[in-house]
């Protein structure tokens, strides 16, 4: 959706994988603009707003997430947005164009904050990111977060740290005024992107157990403990193959897979969702930022004895023009030498390294395996000693 707002994707229809009409053609009844009021698991009935009741043999909850709001006066004002639904994207795009916006403040420095600062700045609009902490994207090491910050600054995106938002008021020079602990700033649009949480209100009222992250507990076939009830996607937990714990990582690729597994089981087949390793990425201007597995802290919390190394290697042959440094951090277990996690930042190739390392996590490779892995090499596209080899061999020597 950020790329639709930034006009990289021109037509909103391109965002819709399958229309209600397409579903109806296959015999699936789709009710849009319809809210579920209550679910009665004993009577196996779903009560819709408006009074209609749907009986079920099998129920699936795919209720997604809801954005976290700071709960400050004025946050409901026109021109203050969150980005969750397609309707939000449509409204934001119209607001940017029609007001027209001269300046935008983004509150929050996670994935959405970074992607949105990229696309809004790309429209030529003055853009500032207001962040509670000191560096963006705290999932990554400070050294990599600093690289992200430098990329924002290189593209004239303002980054304001240590911000607590207090209120949104009507502005004088611009449409809105944001009051914070650091003073007052005006802008024509404010985007709140401070996080999301699983939408599990219906599940909770049905008495379904929720995990420590507030997501619906499921097993490997996406079944909840309630007979005949499944849960999939951002509202449900996933098994983390590295930490061996149940987690909630709300990403669309995971939702697709869990949905397919549940669908196969509901249709009489047999499928399991084998879990995740925590792979994620985003792009901000010319920088790819990616991670997989556990951070050192998460590894220690999961009972491992983590060791780590961070290197800057060549994404293509060092002698070739256009070579850009690629930052790679590896985390491994001192006891077994197995990889536990990785982070990468670079002009290009960061995501491909992380995908390779995601396979390593999936199949529990050690640093010795990774140090000699047969990766494709040719000077214009790869380096003979890939950053993966360099980092793995360096970390192996520390154990």
Q: Which residues bind other proteins (CB under 8 A)?
A: 1, 15-20, 23, 26-36, 39, 46, 48, 54-64, 85-87, 202, 230, 232-236, 252, 255-260, 262-264, 266-269
Beta carbon nearer to other proteins, 236 or 370: 236
Q: How far is the CB of 66 from other proteins (least distance, A)?
A: 11
Cβ(242)–Cβ(340) below 8 Å = yes
Beta carbon nearer to other proteins, 83 or 299: 83
Q: Is 112 exposed, middle or buried (0-12, 13-18, 19+ CB in 10 A)?
A: buried
Q: Which of 67, 71, 125, 69 is nearest to 93 (CA)?
A: 125
Beta carbon nearer to other proteins, 247 or 300: 247
Bridge partners of residue 176, in order along the sequence: 170, 187
Beta carbon nearer to other proteins, 60 or 328: 60
Bridge partners of residue 339, in order along the sequence: 332
Bridge partners of residue 183, in order along the sequence: 180
Q: How far is the CB of 278 from other proteins (least distance, A)?
A: 18
Q: How far is the CB of 60 from other proteins (least distance, A)?
A: 4
Q: How far is the CB of 204 from other proteins (least distance, A)?
A: 13
Beta carbon nearer to other proteins, 156 or 270: 270
Dihedral angle, C-alpha 311, 315, 316, 319, nearest 10 °:
-40
Q: Is 268 exposed, middle or buried (0-12, 13-18, 19+ CB in 10 A)?
A: exposed
Q: How far is the CB of 280 from other proteins (least distance, A)?
A: 13
Tokens of residue 130, six digits: 């207001």
- The label of the residue with tokens 């869990």 reads 258
Q: Which of 135, 138, 128 is nearest to 183 (CA)?
A: 128
CA distances from 336 to 181, 348, 390 (A): 48, 31, 19
Beta carbon nearer to other proteins, 192 or 236: 236
Beta carbon nearer to other proteins, 56 or 285: 56
Q: How far is the CB of 216 from other proteins (least distance, A)?
A: 11
Q: How far is the CB of 193 from other proteins (least distance, A)?
A: 13
The order of strands in the sheet holding 103-107 is 80-81, 189-192, 103-107, 126-130, 158-160
- 175 DSSP 8-state letter: S
Cβ(341)–Cβ(294) below 8 Å = yes
H/E stretch holding 114: helix 111-122
Tokens of residue 271, six digits: 């499928």
Beta carbon nearer to other proteins, 269 or 321: 269
Q: How far is the CB of 50 from other proteins (least distance, A)?
A: 11
């Amino acid at each position: 959706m950020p790329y639709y707002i930034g006009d990289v994707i021109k037509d909103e229809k391109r965002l819709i994988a399958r229309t209600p009409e397409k579903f109806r053609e296959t015999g699936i009844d789709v009710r849009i603009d319809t809210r579920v009021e209550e679910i009665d698991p004993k009577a196996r009935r779903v009560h819709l707003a408006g009074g209609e009741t749907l009986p079920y043999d099998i129920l699936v909850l795919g209720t997604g997430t809801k954005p976290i709001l700071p709960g400050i006066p004025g946050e409901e004002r026109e021109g203050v947005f969150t980005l969750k639904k397609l309707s939000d994207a449509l409204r934001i795009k119209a607001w940017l164009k029609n007001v027209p916006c001269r300046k935008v403040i983004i509150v929050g420095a996670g994935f959405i904050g970074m992607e949105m600062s990229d696309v809004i700045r790309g429209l030529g609009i003055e853009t500032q990111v207001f962040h509670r902490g000191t560096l963006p994207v705290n999932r990554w090491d400070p050294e990599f977060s600093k690289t992200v910050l430098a990329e924002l600054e290189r593209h004239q995106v303002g980054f304001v740290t240590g911000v607590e938002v207090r209120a949104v008021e009507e502005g004088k020079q611009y449409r809105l005024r944001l009051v914070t602990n650091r003073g007052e700033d005006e802008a024509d649009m404010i985007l709140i992107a401070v996080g999301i949480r699983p939408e599990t209100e219906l599940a909770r009222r049905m008495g379904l157990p929720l995990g420590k992250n507030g997501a619906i507990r499921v097993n490997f076939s996406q079944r909840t403990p309630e007979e005949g009830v499944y849960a999939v996607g951002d509202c449900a937990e996933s098994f983390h193959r590295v930490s061996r714990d149940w987690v909630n990582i709300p990403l669309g690729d995971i939702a697709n897979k869990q949905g397919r597994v549940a669908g196969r089981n509901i249709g009489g087949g047999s499928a399991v969702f084998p879990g995740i390793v925590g792979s994620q990425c985003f792009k901000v201007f010319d920088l790819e930022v990616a991670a997989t597995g556990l951070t050192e802290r998460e590894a220690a919390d999961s009972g491992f004895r983590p060791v780590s190394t961070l290197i800057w290697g060549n994404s293509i042959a060092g002698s070739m023009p256009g070579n850009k440094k690629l930052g790679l951090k590896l985390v491994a277990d001192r006891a077994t030498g197995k990889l536990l996690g990785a982070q990468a930042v670079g002009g290009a190739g960061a995501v491909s390294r992380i995908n390779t390392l995601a396979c390593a996590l999936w199949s529990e490779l050690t640093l010795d395996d990774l140090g000699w892995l047969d990766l494709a090499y040719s000077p214009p596209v790869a380096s003979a000693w890939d950053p993966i080899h360099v980092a793995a061999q360096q970390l192996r020597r520390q154990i």
